Amino acid sequence: MKPEAHRQLNSRQSQMLNLISREGEVRIAELRESFPVTEMTIRRDLEKLEETGVVKRTFGGAIFVGQDVALKERTGILTDEKIRIGRKAASLVHPGDSLFLDGGTTTLQVARYLPSDQKLTVVTNALNVAQELTARGIPTTITGGTLLESTLSLVGPIAVQNLSGMAFDLVFLGATGIDAEHGFSNSNFYEAEIKSFAIRQAAEAVVVLDHTKFGARALASFSPLKGVGRIVTDELPEETLFQTCKENGVQIEVADRHQ
């Protein structure tokens, strides 16, 4: 999503975007029932949402296209929240742990706060994460694979094969969305495959995401709720999703604003 377009959305437009991402497709008639504004206003709202790059207008409505968002376009969004999440997630690590971190702006913050003096073993499929870890003197192994230019992540059969012989104490994964039915999801099938495989290789999976991902649904589900042990975020989700996570054994940890 283009960050400048996202920042210019008003509250109603943000709600519409969340609705379209959950439903996949909406009609203008449905939006008029949900939002007390004129049809002309709704059409203008949809034009604005189309500028974000994740919504496409259709005859009589709009669809969610869920395109990959380039890493450079996500870097400046919710930076303070991601820093808090990264610091909190890194505090879960114990000396001698073996870790996997996948690609993303929030997992990059986890890498920045990992302790460099605890003899960690770290594996990643993300070039930016590897660069950060190496600069901090943390021994790092890269999975190999096919490079996705938009996210600097390595994916595909080589990455999967190399992960198959590894075991991790903790894996830290980003997500595009989480909801009760679709679980944890990502907009790219190849990245979702790596996430799903890493979870199977881990004693505990930790998903790091900000509050805007709650209730969102992306194209590819990489785990049901019960497949992940812990979420680290900046705010609690709404009550229904919170209770569903609890029922599925997912512990939610909120990063303190004053950490």
pLDDT greater at residue 172 or residue 8: 172
pLDDT per position as a tens digit, 188-216: 889 999 999 999 999 999 999 998 889 88
d(CA 54, CA 34): 21
Does the pLDDT value for residue 77 go beyond 70? no
User: For 162, which DSSP code?
Assistant: H
pTM: 0.72
Q: Is 217 helix (H, G, I), strand (E, B) or coil?
A: coil
Look up residue 106 and give its two tokens.
């929030």
* Cα-Cα-Cα-Cα dihedral sign, residues 175, 185, 212, 151: positive
Mean pLDDT of the chain: 88
- Least confident range from 12-16, 69-73, 101-105, 143-147: namely 69-73
Predicted pLDDT of residue 78: 56
Cβ atoms 255, 208 nearer than 8 A: no
Q: Where are the alpha helices (DSSP H) in the chain?
A: 3-7, 11-23, 28-34, 39-50, 71-74, 79-90, 105-113, 127-135, 157-163, 189-200, 239-247
d(CA 91, CA 110): 9
